[in-house]
Amino acid sequence: MELPLSDISDREILDARPARNSLDVDRPYEFLVEPERGADGLIEHVATIFLVNRECSFRCLMCDLWKNTTVKSVPVGAIPQQIDYALERSPKAQHAKLYNSGNFFDAKAIPKEDWPAIVERVRGFKSVIVENHPKLCGDGCFEFRDMLAVHGVELEIALGLETVHPEVLPRLNKQMTAEDFAFAAEKLIAAGIRLRTFILLRPPFLSEEEGIEWALKSIEFAFEAGVSCCSVVGTRAGNGIMEQLENDGLFQSPQLSSLEDVQERGLNLGVGRVFIDTWDAQQFTNCVECAEQRIQRIADMNLSQQVIARIKCQICGAG
C-alpha cells in the first residue's frame, strides 16, 4: 500500500471521531479475570480492570480507546473506588492489570494523590501491570515500583511499540521512535521493572504480507530490547479516521490466518512469550464453520506457548 502524501494531523483524527461513550467515573468501564501464562511458566489468573480516566494526550492514528475516557481529569478518589468496585465483584486472582486507556504515569489521568490508596488495594497481588507511553517513563515509575515493593508486589509496565516499520511508525502519530522505545526499555529493565509490549498486526499502509513481516520484525526488536512478553493486536477500524483510510484503500484489517502465522512464528523464536489478542477476533474471518475453533486454538497457544496443529476447514480452506 502507498503512504499518504502527508502525515495525518491531530485535528483530522479528532474531526473524524464518532461519539464518546457515556461513563461513570466511580466505576471501571469493564473488568474481567482470565488465565495467563507468566514469565515463570505458571498459568495464573489476572484481574484486568479497565479504568475510566482522562483521555491520553497522544492522538494515535489507530486508537479507539478514547471512547471510554473522559475529557477532564477524574477527581481524587475515583480510581481507588473503581478498583474497589471491580475487585469486590471478581473472583480471586494472583495478578492485576490496571489499564487506563493511556498512560498510568500521566498525573492528569491517574492522580498521584491516589497512588497510596491504589497500592493498598493491590497489595495482595503478586504483580501489578500498568500501561504507559515510552516517553512518559520517568521517576514516577521508580517511585511507584518502590511503593509496591514494600508489600512484595512486582511492577510490570506495558509499553506500546506498535511497529518498527521506519515509515509507518511516524505516520501513526504516536510521537515516538523505535529508539525512544529501546531507551525507555533499557532504563526500566535496569531498574528491575519487567516489560511487555503491544505489537500491531497490519497497521495502516501495509499489505497483508508486509503486515506479517513487520509484526515479526517488531517482535524481534522488542525481545532484543529486553521485553519478556509481546501481545499482538490485529489492527481494526472503529475510530473514524481508520474508516476513512479503509475507504481510501490505505488500510484493511488482517486475516485470522495472519494472526495464526505471527503467533506460530513468534513462538518458534523461543525468546519470550507471544500472546495474540483474541478480543473480537471473529471480525478477522467470515467463516462461521471454523472461526470459533481457530480462535480457541489461538487462546490455547497463548496459555501453552507451544504451537498446536492447525484447524482444517473444508469451507474456507484454512489449515
Q: Could you tell me which of 138, 278, 164, 159 has the C-alpha nearest to residue 227?
A: 159
Domain around 111: 17-198
61 within a domain of the structure (yes/no): yes
Q: What are phi and psi of 52, to 5 degrees?
A: -95, 125
Task: Round to whole Å and give the CA distance between 20 and 17.
Answer: 8
pLDDT of res. 316? 93
Give me the CATH number covering residue 65: 3.80.30
265 within a domain of the structure (yes/no): no
Task: Round to whole Å and give the CA distance between 17 and 37.
Answer: 36
Contact 14, 59 (CB under 8 A): yes
Task: Round to whole Å and give the CA distance between 14 and 16.
Answer: 5
Report pLDDT digits (tens) over 128-146. 999 999 999 999 999 999 9
- The ranges of the chain with pLDDT < 70 are 5
Grid cell 502519530 is found at 173
Distance of CA 103 to the CA centre of its chain: 11
53 within a domain of the structure (yes/no): yes
Task: Round to whole Å and give the CA distance between 252 and 283.
Answer: 12
312 within a domain of the structure (yes/no): no
Residue 157 in grid coordinates: 509496565
pLDDT of res. 5? 67
pTM, 2 dp: 0.96
222 within a domain of the structure (yes/no): no
Q: Could you tell me which of 306, 310, 305 has the C-alpha nearest to residue 295?
A: 310
Contact 267, 291 (CB under 8 A): no
Report pLDDT digits (tens) over 50-90. 999 999 999 999 999 999 999 999 999 999 999 999 999 99
Residue 89 in grid coordinates: 465483584
HEC per residue, the chain: CCCCCCCCCHHHHHHCCCCCCCCCCCCCCEEEEEEEECCCCCEEEEEEEECCCECCCCCCCCCCHHHHCECCCCCCCHHHHHHHHHHCCCCCCCEEEEECCCCCCCCCCCCHHHHHHHHHHHCCCCEEEEEECHHHCCHHHHHHHHHHHCCCCEEEEEEEEECCCCCHHHHCCCCCCHHHHHHHHHHHHHCCCEEEEEEEECCCCCCHHHHHHHHHHHHHHHHHCCCCEEEEEECCCCCCHHHHHHHCCCCCCCCHHHHHHHHHHHHHCCCCEEEECCCCHHHHCCCCCCHHHHHHHHHHHHHHCCCCCCCCCCCCCCC
Q: Domains in the chain: how many in total?
A: 1
Task: Round to whole Å and give the CA distance between 104 and 131.
Answer: 6
pLDDT of res. 2? 72
258 within a domain of the structure (yes/no): no
303 within a domain of the structure (yes/no): no
